[in-house]
Amino acid sequence: MSPAAKPYHAPAWLPGGHAQTIWPLLIKPTPLKLRRERWTTPDGDFIDVDHLDAPPGAPVLVLFHGLEGSARSHYAISTARACRKAGWHFVLPHFRGCSGELNRQPRAYHSGDSAEIDWILRRLHHANQGGRLHAAGVSLGGNALLKWAGERGETAAELVTGIAAMCAPLDLAGCGHHLARGFNRLYTQHFLKTLKAVSAARLQRFPGLFDAVRMRQAINLYQFDDAVTAPVHGFAGADDYWARASAKPWLASIRVPALAVNPKNDPFLPAHHLPSQAEVGSCVRLEQPAEGGHVGFVSGPFPGNLDWLPQRLLHFFRHQTS
């Protein structure tokens, strides 16, 4: 019998979803030196993929980052460090435009970009020569990964041993509208600052790609997705995008071992939007701790550490995917 995973409990000195979300940004460890590769996509674009190498035959953990994330995100750094300690190969593919250089094509990335997930996993599977490939995603990356697994059904097992998603915004409408209210608007403004800057640069390269005035005037994610994300990626509007890109409807179709961790105090997604076990397939393990914030999971005495998330991932892949 495999050892039980350690459930998450927030330290008493860090109460509340907002504090638990923001504090990791202040205590993130020093990034490791990673090896970068540039991959040409099937449509002639590129993505940058960062590697922490390990001995041949070691398990591979690929981590898909969140909205405007990168290899320098706190969860990526802590996971890379945990993989180094475990002797695993760590891989972080940057979604288009997230590695510090504007991509070549008009499109960027979005929460339901399962086709991009599929292409990346197939390339990693081929490079790994059939070895153990574990796939995890955080926030937006977790949503896209879960959606991919649901769409692929039993065939997902041809590429990965299992999948794990941390704080995935499973219901994009519930998440997007919630981020437009109260204190949560600070998170929205943080995202919009970089999203608008990159979008303005993309518009210079591709005039007429979307309505520049509507993009500049957007004050929430609904307005931004309606003006930019949806038309650029073939959706009728924000409502269509959020409905079709959400992973929640696909959870019942997942046929590989899957872990979905969603704290009930996540400021991005209210607890009443989270799925019940009756709404997901038998391969899906739901963990919905009372606390954790949005990709927070701080543990230990003050000032805390960020070890819980990567250790939960490694435990799952070691013991629930064999």
At 3-48, the pLDDT tens digits run: 668 899 999 999 999 999 999 999 999 999 999 999 999 999 999 9
Which among 245, 275, 309 is the end of a domain? 245
Do 167 and 177 sit in the same domain of this protein?
no
Scanning the structure block, which residue is given the tokens 């004050």? 219
Do 281 and 158 sit in the same domain of this protein?
yes
**Inside any domain, residue 181:** yes
As for how many domains the chain has, the answer is 2
Asked if residue 216 lies in contact with residue 196, where contact means CB atoms within 8 angstroms, the answer is yes
- CB under 8 Å to 103, separation ≥6 — which residues? 45, 46, 47, 96, 97
Please say whether the beta carbons of 122 and 156 come within 8 A.
Answer: no
Q: For the chain, what is the radius of gyration of the CA atoms? A: 19
User: Residue 130 has what pLDDT?
Assistant: 75
Query: Which pLDDT does position 9 carry in this prediction?
Result: 96
User: Which residues does the annotation mark as catalytic?
Assistant: 139, 266, 294
Same domain, yes or no: 92 and 183: no
Domain membership flag for residue 5: no
Same domain for 151 and 178, yes or no, is no
Q: Does any domain span residue 50? A: yes
Would residue 267 count as lying in a domain? yes
Say whether both 264 and 187 belong to one domain: no
Among the candidates 198, 220, 245, a domain finishes at 245
- Regarding whether 121 and 37 lie in a shared domain, the answer is yes
Asked whether residue 164 falls in the same domain as residue 141, the answer is yes
Among candidate residues 245, 265, 286, the one where a domain is terminated: 245
**108 shares its domain with 192:** no
Q: Which residues pair with 163 in a beta bridge?
A: 135, 258
153 shares its domain with 185:
no
62 and 143 within one domain: yes
pLDDT above 90 coverage of the chain, percent: 96
Q: Do 259 and 287 contact (CB within 8 A), yes or no?
A: yes
Q: Is 9 part of a structural domain of the chain?
A: no
DSSP string, 185-254: HHHHHHHHHHHHHHHHHHHHHSTTSS-HHHHHH--SHHHHIIIIIHHHTT-SSHHHHHHHH-SGGGGGG-
Q: How do residues 70-129 score in pLDDT, each as one tens digit?
A: 999 999 999 999 999 999 999 999 999 999 999 999 999 999 999 999 999 999 999 998
- Indicate whether 12 belongs to any domain: no
**293 and 223 within one domain:** no
104 to each of 46, 83, 121, 260, 281, how far by Cα in Å? Answer: 7, 32, 21, 33, 38
Q: What's the pLDDT tens digit per position in 186-222?
A: 999 999 999 999 999 999 999 999 999 999 999 999 9
- Domain co-membership, 32 together with 147: yes
Any idea what the CATH number is for the domain that residue 160 is in?
3.40.50.1820
Domain containing 160 equals 17-171+246-319
DSSP per-residue codes, 56-70 = TT--EEEEE--TT--
- pTM of the full predicted structure? 0.97
Residues pairing with 52 in the sheet: 90
- Inside any domain, residue 2: no
Give CA–CA dist 197/204, Å, rounded. 11
Does residue 4 form part of some domain? no
Handedness of CA 28, 269, 264, 250 (dihedral sign): negative
